[in-house]
Structure 1
């Protein structure tokens, strides 16, 4: 009887031990300074190098670092291939408008290729005067893009997330196909869904914008100088004073830190002419102390933007951060780079060439057309594509990205 029972109900073999979950990949983010620390008394050159020569870079670097849950270490662009191989399994490059004749990344291409690691480029942009022109690249930057593409760790898609369709089309012309036309990752700095509704609520409750923050341009941009003068005039309201936020280049940032003696005299004169030419030089310096600001961490930057009803100007990231801080923004586009960024992240924008009428609070209020439902739908769909991109490239997304994608 016992034998029969044994034969009828054979003993099952032991179940295999469950596989241990795969360890997340160690990520090397190519950005030297994750934080500038207590920067109030830092030397200007240290600050200037720390922001990559443009305060706007902080916006997308901060965003990307918040999007990835993997173990992360930060490395400079010049980190050796040996150091990268020793400390990381995959490289993430926070990108800007690197695809243009203004760059030459041949040395970096050699180093990345030598590392042998997979590479993910996030936010890559092309820079041309307009969509009607193709970009021009140095041989070094072309090879840099090719090295990144060849390292693709994704079996399901591309390892290049671009700022939009124009950049993707330019990569296609280089023979680099399949990149994801996504936008700027700073689109997802605010971790909450329903951002468009919050922006709309604050904006629609205002008959007219009061305090204005200007995302300042550059003194060499003569085609926007008349616009800049008008924006400064609106910003300098005695009851609702605004601010003039500079991002680039070095001389513009120096005036925000009262470093006048180290600026080339010709450049300083041009900045004076670009801002308040009706002031004496001493009055101009006083104006800088009162109104000109630069920021070295994103939370502080966004916090000050919340104090202003409208941020407007030719610097995309300066405007985009205002929307992430739940305030209205309007970018004055000057080239394909800023236009593409705005189109792919729902940032209201107007071409500089179209701003021919006098700018007033009333005209700006009428000019801005913002559909909160469309904005939130677009942001949700963009977050879903971004999630797919990160997962395909074996990067673990932060949980809040799923909430934005789901819209809840």
Structure 2
């Protein structure tokens, strides 16, 4: 019987989904890509593709032309998972990725990409000053794959506007995070004795949320006893971990004494599995962060999402996540009223068809999904059982003075390590620049010598 060849893929992510990372590691290197939600869609892809014959490694968000030869030699494909990558500040990264993709000799798979725009944007007229950069990137990926996967219909229409063909060049697959556990979702009903005062629920919020929405979420922490805030951004992690504020935004929890942090129950997660498992203990989740509520959905916990832009709009619509618009919160409804007026089971009815569509997309690109074969116990589950993952990071308001001092010391050590790495990188680049300067001087000298020889030959031509 012929043995199946092992395949090894490189995936654009900050870390391997089952890698043990500590708070000190995160202080030293931002492996969440500024937002811990990034870990969830990498986790979804990993669970669907890893097998005894397939390994997936992280590029740690570091891919450059200098690594192309190594990637071509050691990997069978490059998986690119993106969130709202079609935005102004991501264009330099998109251009760099395009150059790398064009130099690769292996397949490239774009499993998710979305557009950042205002809620209710007119899709048919969607164009940006960086259209050419996006068009070039998608074209480069299509040179190395059969079809690209997009997060929703708004992004699909945007690519149509750029001249790509829906169904041929691109398909809507939603967010891979939703497929971490296969084709079935089971959202729990609220308890018969459900009470807001006794329920344990989670909140999340975005810095770009309307001020009244921020106030609504903050007031939940003031008005109810068992509410836990789950921050997702890198600077929020540093605030939660050390207690020192690194930013200040009106109406947004940006101080350790703000209601969202003051209870001491805020938590930050360094990996997807512990995040999802923690959400199993909540009665419901509410907030403006898509992945914050995806974690709840995967855990079977009811959730209310507040979409604030087009990137969330297309995702909640595609996956059927229960949602209310920010304007609804201006009326100051109780969370109980929202839970009663929304269909908490809506995602269940969309999941099977969405998952089948996702599997078709993977197979069309020559990938071999494994989770569909036995979603109850996948190879990824066995790997997860063997892994050692860091627990949820508790707020500095919930720890002893001794541990707080330890955290500050750890942060200082991590920053020293980061500074050492930066100094080493600077030294390396200086040495490289010096070597290039010397080589350049030699070339200039050779050019001058050749020019003199040319001039002499011109002034003294050979006679026949």
Structure of higher CA gyration radius = 2
Counterpart for residue 8 of structure 2: 26
- 1:39 pairs with one of 6, 14, 22: 22
* 1:64 and 1:186 in contact (8 A); partners too: yes
Counterpart for residue 151 of structure 1: 144
Counterpart for residue 59 of structure 2: 75
TM-score (normalised: structure 1): 0.79
Helix, strand or coil at the partner of 1:65: helix
- 2:242 pairs with one of 258, 265, 282: 258
* C-alpha separation in 1, matches of 2:354 and 2:193: 29
87-96 vs 351-360, which deviates more?
351-360
Structure 1 residue 289, shift from structure 2 partner:
6.8
Counterpart for residue 169 of structure 1: 157
Per-residue deviation, residues 93-152 of structure 1 (Å, max 9, x unmatched): 112111122311212211111112221111211111133151525344442222112222
96-105 vs 319-328, which deviates more?
96-105
* C-alpha separation in 2, matches of 1:308 and 1:191: 22
* C-alpha separation in 1, matches of 2:259 and 2:14: 33
Counterpart for residue 361 of structure 1: 335
Per-residue deviation, residues 322-371 of structure 1 (Å, max 9, x unmatched): 0100100111010110111111112111111332211313322233223x
Residues 396, 234 of structure 1: alpha-carbon distance in 2 compared, 3 angstrom cutoff = same
* C-alpha RMSD of matched pairs (Å): 2.7
1:66-145 correspondence to structure 2 within 5 Å? 66-69=47-50, 70-79=54-63, 80-104=67-91, 105-130=94-119, 131-132=121-122, 134-136=126-128, 138=130, 139-145=132-138
* 2:14 and 2:32 in contact (8 A); partners too: no
Helix, strand or coil at the partner of 1:243: strand
Per-residue deviation, residues 213-258 of structure 1 (Å, max 9, x unmatched): 111221x54x2x22222223324566x512111113x433322223
Q: Where in structure 1 are there 5+ consecutive unaligned residues?
A: 1-17
1:7-406 correspondence to structure 2 within 5 Å? 20=2, 23=5, 25-34=7-16, 35-42=18-25, 44-46=27-29, 49-69=30-50, 70-79=54-63, 80-104=67-91, 105-130=94-119, 131-132=121-122, 134-136=126-128, 138=130, 139-152=132-145, 154=146, 158=147, 160-177=148-165, 178=168, 179-191=170-182, 193=184, 195=185, 198-199=186-187, 201-203=188-190, 205=192, 207-209=194-196, 210-218=199-207, 221=209, 223=210, 225-236=211-222, 240-248=225-233, 250-260=234-244, 263=246, 267-268=247-248, 270=249, 273-275=251-253, 283-284=257-258, 287-288=261-262, 290-370=264-344, 372=345, 375-400=347-372
* C-alpha separation in 1, matches of 2:350 and 2:260: 43
Per-residue deviation, residues 377-398 of structure 1 (Å, max 9, x unmatched): 4211111111111111111102
Helix, strand or coil at the partner of 1:333: coil
* C-alpha separation in 2, matches of 1:300 and 1:109: 34
* C-alpha separation in 2, matches of 1:21 and 1:347: 43
* C-alpha separation in 2, matches of 1:366 and 1:115: 52
Residues 302, 127 of structure 1: alpha-carbon distance in 2 compared, 3 angstrom cutoff = same
Residues 383, 402 of structure 1: alpha-carbon distance in 2 compared, 3 angstrom cutoff = farther
Q: Where in structure 2 are there 5+ consecutive unaligned residues?
A: 377-464
Helix, strand or coil at the partner of 2:331: coil
- Matched residue pairs, number? 358
